[in-house]
Chain A
Amino acid sequence: MKIHHNTPLKVGFVKLTDAAPYIVAKELGIYEKFGLQVELLAQNSWSTLRDKLEMGLLDAAQMLAPMPLANQVGMSGNRKDIIIPMITSQNGNGVTLSKRLCEEIKLANDLTKIPFPMPAKLLKKTLERRIKDKHPKLKIACVFPFSCHYLQLIDYLHVAKIDIDEIECVFMPPTSMAISLESGDIDGFCAGGPYNAKSVRNDTGVTVLTSYDIWQDRAEKVLAITQCEYDKTPEVFQHLCAALIEACQWLKEVPNRFEAARIMSRDQYLDTKIDIVAPSLLGSCLTEEGQSPRHLPHYNRFSSIFSAADDGPYAVNRPTFDQAEWLYGKLQHVWPHAFENKIAEQVMKQCFRPDIFAKAITTHKKHINK
C-alpha cells in the first residue's frame, strides 16, 4: 500500500539519542511499511528546525516538547500553528558538571564522594562558599529557553531554594558543551544524550543526576507538524505517527536497543562511538570515569516497558492534556505574562492533540494486524 503524498516527506531531527524512533523507522523500513517515503534531515539548531517547519521546508520534525506551546503563545517563531500529534520520548537529559566543580562541591560539603543523584543542597553550600570567597557565579549551559532542560534545572535548584539567577545560565548547542566544559568556559551543563556520556568517557565531566531524578516520565521530545499542513493531508500525518508508534514499540525491547545504538552511531546520524551511544539506551547512566554506572531503566523512554492496564502500549506516546498542563505550568512559572491563565486551556488544546493520536492508533492497529 502506498499513501499519496509529495515524496519524499521531509522530516527534521537533531543528532540526539532520543531521535532513535525517527532513525530506526528509516533504517528498519518502517516508514515504507506504512506507505510513506521519508527523507530524514539533520538540523543543527532548534530555531532553524522550527523556522523550516513553519516555512514548509520540513513537513514534520522532532521538537523539544515546550517549543510548540511557546510557538502557540507567540514566544517562538511566527505562525502560531505548530501542533503535537504524538510524544516520541520521555526523560533522557542529564546534568554533567566539570571535574573541577565536583572537587569544589566535595570540599564545601566535607565529602570524599558525591552521592548520585546529587542532592541540590550540596550545590547550595557550594554557592554560599563561592560568595564568601568572592568567586564569580557558576556558569551552567542549557540548550534552549523553551526546553525541558531549562525548566528541569530551575526545578532542581528550587528544591534547595536556589534561584536560577544565583547561577549564570547560558544557552548553547549541545555540540559546543563538551568543549566549553573542557576549556572551563562553563562549569556544567544540562543536555540530552549522547552528550553526558561523551563528557564522562572523555573524563572531563561527571554526570551527577538525570532529568528522571527531577521529573518522572514527562514529555521530552515530540513530533511537531503544522496545523495548516495537517489539514491538507491528514492521512499522511496519521500514517507518519503510526510508523513512529511502531518504531517506539520496537525500541521497547532491550536487545533491540543495542541494535538501535549500532545504527545511530553511524556517520550520518550521531557520528559517535557505540560505547557512548549505547549506555543510556540500555538503561545505564554513566556517572564518572572509573565508577559504576547507575541503573536507570527509564533513562530513554520511547514506549511503556510494562503496559499500564488502562492505557496499554500507547501511554508514553499519547499527547495528553495532563502532559500539556505540566509543561504549561512550568513555562508559566518562568514567563507568567506570555503563558497566561486565561489562554491556557485554549493553547493546550490547540497544541497537544490526542484526537490525531487516536486516529494514528487506528491506523497502527490496522497495519500490525494485517
Chain B
Amino acid sequence: MNILLIDDNQNRAQAIQQALKGSQYSITHLVSAGSSLLREVDIAKPDMIVIDIESPDRDILESLHTLNQINPKPIVMFTETQDSQIIKRSIKSGVSAYVTGDADPNRVRAILDAAVARFEEFQDLKSELKSTQNQLGARKTIEKAKRMLIEKQGLDEDAAYKAMRKMAMDSGQKLEQVATNIMNMLKNLP
C-alpha cells in the first residue's frame, strides 16, 4: 500500500517511516509542497494520504476530492489535540480520521490499519446507499412505464405489468430496461 505522507516536521516523518519498516505500507514523504503535491499525487497515485492537520496543503487535497479528481482515499491527519471526544466526533466523517498527539511511532501502524478499515466500511456504506438509490430509481421507471401502458394502450394494471415482465423474459433484459424502452417508444406516439 502506497502512502503519501505530508508533514513539515522532519523528525516525526522519520519516526513514522521507521515505525512502518517491514509493514504493508510503503511511504513517500513530502513537506508541504504546493503545486508539487499535485504532481506527486498524479505520479505516485497513493492509496492513502497522511497529512498534518496544520499543513496548508490540506486545501489541495480537499479540492481534489470535491472535484472528484482523486479516487476517494482515506486521509489520516495528525493533530496535537488531546480531546478524545472531539476526535471521535470528527472520525465519524468517514473519509478523514484524526490522530491524537504527536503520533507515537509505536501506534502508527495500528492507527493506519484502523483508518483503512474505517475507510472501507464507509465506502461500503456509500455504495450500499447508491445501490438502494438505484433500486428506487428503477422502481420509479417501472411504475411510470406501467402508467403509460395503462393510459395509452388501455391495459389494466395487472395486464400492463405482466406484458412488461414477459417482454423482459423474452428478450433477456432487465425489467427496468424494458420499462425505459417502452417509455421511449410510447413517448413518440400520440
Q: Which residues of A approach B to under 8 Å, CB–CB? A: 44-48, 51, 54-57, 75-76, 78, 141, 143-146, 170-173, 175-177, 179-180, 183, 185-186
On whether the beta carbons of A172 and B90 are closer than 8 Å, the reply is: no
> In the complex, which residues of chain B have a beta carbon less than 8 angstroms from the beta carbon of A186?
35
* Other-chain residue from A144, A179, A185 in contact with B59 (beta carbon distance below 8 A): A144
CA distance A78 to B67 in the complex (A): 17
B114 within 8 A of A: no
* Other-chain residue from B36, B54, B60, B64 in contact with A48 (beta carbon distance below 8 A): B54
With A51-B90, A55-B90, A78-B92 in contact, is A171–B57 under 8 Å at CB? no
Task: Tell me the interface secondary structure of chain B in the complex.
Answer: helix
Kindly provide the distance from the CB of A263 to the nearest chain B CB, expressed in whole angstroms.
Answer: 23
CA distance A150 to B19 in the complex (A): 41
* Cβ < 8 Å to A, chain B residues 61-86: 61-64, 66-67, 81, 86
On whether the beta carbons of B90 and A78 are closer than 8 Å, the reply is: yes
Q: Which residues of B approach A to under 8 Å, CB–CB? A: 33-38, 53-64, 66-67, 81, 86, 89-90, 92-93
Shortest Cβ distance from A170 into B: residue: B38
CA distance A175 to B59 in the complex (A): 12
* Other-chain residue from B57, B90, B92, B93 in contact with A45 (beta carbon distance below 8 A): B57
CA distance A176 to B56 in the complex (A): 9
Kindly provide the distance from the CB of B4 to the nearest chain A CB, expressed in whole angstroms.
Answer: 16
On whether the beta carbons of B53 and A48 are closer than 8 Å, the reply is: yes
> In the complex, which residues of chain B have a beta carbon less than 8 angstroms from the beta carbon of A144?
59, 62-63
On whether the beta carbons of B34 and A76 are closer than 8 Å, the reply is: no
Kindly provide the distance from the CB of A142 to the nearest chain B CB, expressed in whole angstroms.
Answer: 8
On whether the beta carbons of A145 and B35 are closer than 8 Å, the reply is: no
Kindly provide the distance from the CB of B28 to the nearest chain A CB, expressed in whole angstroms.
Answer: 19
Nearest 10 interchain pairs by C-beta:
A176-B34, A171-B63, A173-B56, A185-B35, A45-B58, A47-B62, A44-B56, A180-B35, A45-B59, A78-B93
On whether the beta carbons of B59 and A171 are closer than 8 Å, the reply is: yes
Shortest Cβ distance from A70 into B: residue: B66
CA distance A162 to B147 in the complex (A): 44
With A55-B90, A56-B86, A145-B66 in contact, is A173–B35 under 8 Å at CB? no
* Other-chain residue from B35, B81, B89 in contact with A172 (beta carbon distance below 8 A): B35
On whether the beta carbons of A180 and B34 are closer than 8 Å, the reply is: yes
> In the complex, which residues of chain A have a beta carbon less than 8 angstroms from the beta carbon of B58?
44-45, 47-48
> In the complex, which residues of chain A have a beta carbon less than 8 angstroms from the beta carbon of B86?
55-57
With A51-B90, A55-B86, A78-B90 in contact, is A179–B34 under 8 Å at CB? yes
* Other-chain residue from B54, B89, B92 in contact with A44 (beta carbon distance below 8 A): B54
Give 16 A-B pairs besides A46-B59, A145-B63 with Cβ atoms closer than 8 angstroms: A45-B56, A45-B59, A46-B62, A47-B62, A51-B53, A51-B90, A75-B66, A144-B62, A171-B59, A171-B60, A172-B34, A172-B57, A173-B34, A176-B33, A176-B56, A177-B34
On whether the beta carbons of A57 and B81 are closer than 8 Å, the reply is: yes
On whether the beta carbons of B59 and A173 are closer than 8 Å, the reply is: yes
> In the complex, which residues of chain B have a beta carbon less than 8 angstroms from the beta carbon of A55?
86, 89-90
CA distance A312 to B58 in the complex (A): 40
With A145-B67, A179-B34 in contact, is A173–B93 under 8 Å at CB? no
On whether the beta carbons of B35 and A170 are closer than 8 Å, the reply is: yes
On whether the beta carbons of A175 and B92 are closer than 8 Å, the reply is: no
> In the complex, which residues of chain A have a beta carbon less than 8 angstroms from the beta carbon of B90?
51, 54-55, 78
CA distance A45 to B53 in the complex (A): 9
Kindly provide the distance from the CB of A191 to the nearest chain B CB, expressed in whole angstroms.
Answer: 12
> In the complex, which residues of chain B have a beta carbon less than 8 angstroms from the beta carbon of A48?
53-54, 58
* Other-chain residue from A76, A173, A180 in contact with B66 (beta carbon distance below 8 A): A76
Shortest Cβ distance from A78 into B: residue: B93
> In the complex, which residues of chain B have a beta carbon less than 8 angstroms from the beta carbon of A57?
81, 86
Shortest Cβ distance from A180 into B: residue: B35
> In the complex, which residues of chain A have a beta carbon less than 8 angstroms from the beta carbon of B89?
55
Kindly provide the distance from the CB of B21 to the nearest chain A CB, expressed in whole angstroms.
Answer: 30
Kindly provide the distance from the CB of A55 to the nearest chain B CB, expressed in whole angstroms.
Answer: 5
> In the complex, which residues of chain B have a beta carbon less than 8 angstroms from the beta carbon of A46?
59, 62
Kindly provide the distance from the CB of A139 to the nearest chain B CB, expressed in whole angstroms.
Answer: 9
> In the complex, which residues of chain A have a beta carbon less than 8 angstroms from the beta carbon of B81?
57
> In the complex, which residues of chain A have a beta carbon less than 8 angstroms from the beta carbon of B54?
44, 48
